Structure 1
């Protein structure tokens, strides 16, 4: 028998159905690829739209947040003093410290009973600046407290925060003025500052202040935080000091200093920074050493009274607190390595007073008055100048004081509310806020 050489008969209908199936499969694959491209392109477009909307909203917020000083009538006659809202030069204050208790808080070698201060409503906090380095963002994100969202009365949620409060003055130790130990505070004479003299309205001359101040320093703290901390006395164990008189026994000054870059069109005025907290005690000779007019001015400041200010064409009503004035100077300029330009700037602007309005807030407690000075809201030029100087704070001895500006003859000469020296504070050596 021979071998059959014929091929099996192929059904043409089967071949055509297979071709159709292959064509359909290829079509489906191409369709999926096209759909993927369309979906990805839509995602990209959506992202672009959301980014543009975010930018637009930020721009709107920036325009909405724009404000101006409506009380310019308080500007004094031909004065050389500065206003933080306009001017470019605001005075700055500026081994891991484990909240040392070797001097038991505010007073060296003294233990004081402490009071728990009451919390009040604060505004909703904003997020950390997008310019924050990732390493810094991680360290600052480990705070032991957070704010309750959607509530006008934001209270601390962490039980730990209620059980343990920071002992006032335990992070920055005291040292005598002549030693100038780095990372410490010292007491200075109020008379070391120059203020408006008795005849200032006529001769525009300043003279050294009297040797008496309304409050004297008790201690200082420095905290790092991922955002501003308003009314910081709520988280501090405040000494139980009660001195009879018309003024609170303790004055707390909370200086809020930004550590993120300044921006010209900055819609947010919050972000990582430090809080330099200064504590002062009412003078036991408050009624004896200070004139009645100055004590009356302090009462108006505490009670948030208003006054009539002469202006053209009409008089205006302004808060008395807008007279609060910051005095600051670098006491060791000769020890700093400054360029010729920097020396000229420092000589021109060192020890120039700055009215703190409108970047300040006041909080009145049971036995204390807290004043928050918000450098985050200073003008761009002031912020930029401070940004270039902040790394040199660890080399500076900074003198800080407060007074109430005298706009009338009866308010002169000016007297000091308080005064203190901060010796070479290096903020990188201090702990973040979170107890």
Structure 2
């Protein structure tokens, strides 16, 4: 009896122990599986977050190479070639830019980021894990590519979403008789003296023919912490398209430094101003200008080369090295100059200067931009200009461009463009960044 009564108890104890062992094992397995799943989900989320962060960091990084790009910042989705205008929606409303105006200057229309709009969008940001996950997945599926000629950093530059400045919105125009301070005026090309028809024989200069290739359309002045190349990318240029091989608009970008001149030539960038001049192709371009001058303009645009006679051997030089700057201070007597300053002014006023090698050319759809980089001028020229820059607000400046005539068939010289700037005071403009 005792033996028979004890056997069922032992069997039950063994069954209980086995069941407890199985349940414990199942719990351990569940923990392992759940921990592995959590780790996998965490790793997946971390990778998605890294992808999102990398895309976000690139989107908000304005590379210097973007400024060097000649192409507009356009990017396309790889799906069906659709323009990715909904990129901001798929990334999240908190990343969307809202164009607004700073209100810092009455003449400056550069939009900036609205902090209020960003704060409101931050409040509307979905906090649901499912919403965040779907947004990250949609972001990971997106990929973009650039047009040829642009860098990857330029793709996500915030300036591509900014509203462009309207050309000629910062400096008004006025008739040349009034000479209103802070304005520009049209100027007759015949007021400049250039190489005449017999210059190679008698070395005499004559007044230029009263016809130019381009006539003034507007002017702007922008202050910036660094010099800005190819500034036409940031400006809304008038839609003027005149049939022919010559661009309808000529843009001259004068890059003028506002920091002290350094004897080290490597230091050629910093705070400065960009005086941007806009010119329109003459309606009588083919009628009033001689064939040789129109041919030289085509060589300038197409960046052709020419053979230059020299000793002991001839050399090949770009035709653009013939571009020549004409500058003149009209009201020298009103500047209260000292004896030494007046002597220098009389010696160098209206003396032409070849723009090479401190120039760059950019050819757009309907414009040609010429950047004249004063930052790269010689130390002596920079030092002299530095002492004169505070008097610019008192000066009436005439500016012109021509193509130097080195051969008989290139004479007389004609003007590409001409304009007068009336007492422009750069201190009236606030610094902006592109």
Question: Which category of TM-score, normalised to the shorter sequence, fits these structures?
Answer: 0.5 to 0.7
Aligned mates of 2:148, 2:285 — CA distance in 1: 29
- Counterpart contact for 2:292–2:409, Cα < 8 Å: yes
Aligned mates of 1:119, 1:349 — CA distance in 2: 46
- Report whether the alignment pairs 1:99 with 2:107: yes
The Cα of 1:155 is off from its aligned counterpart by 2.1
- Counterpart contact for 1:119–1:155, Cα < 8 Å: no
The Cα of 1:153 is off from its aligned counterpart by 5.9
Higher helix share: 2
- CA spacing shift, 1:120–1:323, aligned 2, 3 Å: farther
Match of 1:341 in 2: 340
Aligned mates of 2:325, 2:384 — CA distance in 1: 17
Give unmatched runs, 5+ long, in structure 2. Answer: 1-103, 110-145
- CA spacing shift, 1:265–1:244, aligned 2, 3 Å: same
Aligned mates of 2:423, 2:333 — CA distance in 1: 14
The Cα of 1:243 is off from its aligned counterpart by 1.1
Match of 1:321 in 2: 320
Aligned to 2:241, what secondary structure does the other structure show? coil
The Cα of 1:99 is off from its aligned counterpart by 1.9
The Cα of 1:359 is off from its aligned counterpart by 0.3
TM-score by length of 2: 0.66
Aligned mates of 1:307, 1:383 — CA distance in 2: 31
TM-score by length of 1: 0.65
The Cα of 1:160 is off from its aligned counterpart by 5.6
The Cα of 1:430 is off from its aligned counterpart by 1.1
Match of 1:220 in 2: 219
Root mean square deviation of aligned Cα: 1.8
| CA deviation vs aligned residue, 1:164-196 (integer Å, no higher than 9, x gap) | 000000000001101111110000100000000
| CA deviation vs aligned residue, 1:306-362 (integer Å, no higher than 9, x gap) | 000000100000000000000000011111110011111101110000000000000
- Counterpart contact for 2:225–2:433, Cα < 8 Å: no
The Cα of 1:263 is off from its aligned counterpart by 1.0
Aligned to 1:239, what secondary structure does the other structure show? coil
Aligned mates of 2:239, 2:226 — CA distance in 1: 29
Aligned mates of 2:309, 2:226 — CA distance in 1: 39
Match of 1:25 in 2: none
Give unmatched runs, 5+ long, in structure 1. Answer: 1-95, 102-117, 123-151
- CA spacing shift, 1:121–1:361, aligned 2, 3 Å: farther
Quick check: which has more Rg, 1 or 2? 2
Aligned mates of 1:187, 1:390 — CA distance in 2: 23
Aligned mates of 2:328, 2:153 — CA distance in 1: 37
- Counterpart contact for 2:265–2:376, Cα < 8 Å: no
The Cα of 1:154 is off from its aligned counterpart by 5.0
| CA deviation vs aligned residue, 1:5-30 (integer Å, no higher than 9, x gap) | xxxxxxxxxxxxxxxxxxxxxxxxxx
Aligned mates of 2:295, 2:248 — CA distance in 1: 16
The Cα of 1:245 is off from its aligned counterpart by 2.2
- Report whether the alignment pairs 1:187 with 2:195: no
Match of 1:287 in 2: 286
The Cα of 1:266 is off from its aligned counterpart by 3.7
- Counterpart contact for 2:216–2:417, Cα < 8 Å: yes
Aligned mates of 1:162, 1:356 — CA distance in 2: 34
- CA spacing shift, 1:330–1:165, aligned 2, 3 Å: same
- CA spacing shift, 1:389–1:318, aligned 2, 3 Å: same
Aligned to 2:237, what secondary structure does the other structure show? strand
Higher relative contact order (CA 8 A, sep 6+): 1
- Counterpart contact for 1:121–1:153, Cα < 8 Å: no
Aligned mates of 1:119, 1:274 — CA distance in 2: 30
Aligned to 1:174, what secondary structure does the other structure show? coil
Match of 1:169 in 2: 168
Match of 1:370 in 2: 369
Match of 1:387 in 2: 386
Aligned mates of 2:169, 2:232 — CA distance in 1: 14
- CA spacing shift, 1:160–1:229, aligned 2, 3 Å: closer
- CA spacing shift, 1:160–1:356, aligned 2, 3 Å: closer
Match of 1:234 in 2: 233
Aligned mates of 2:354, 2:231 — CA distance in 1: 22
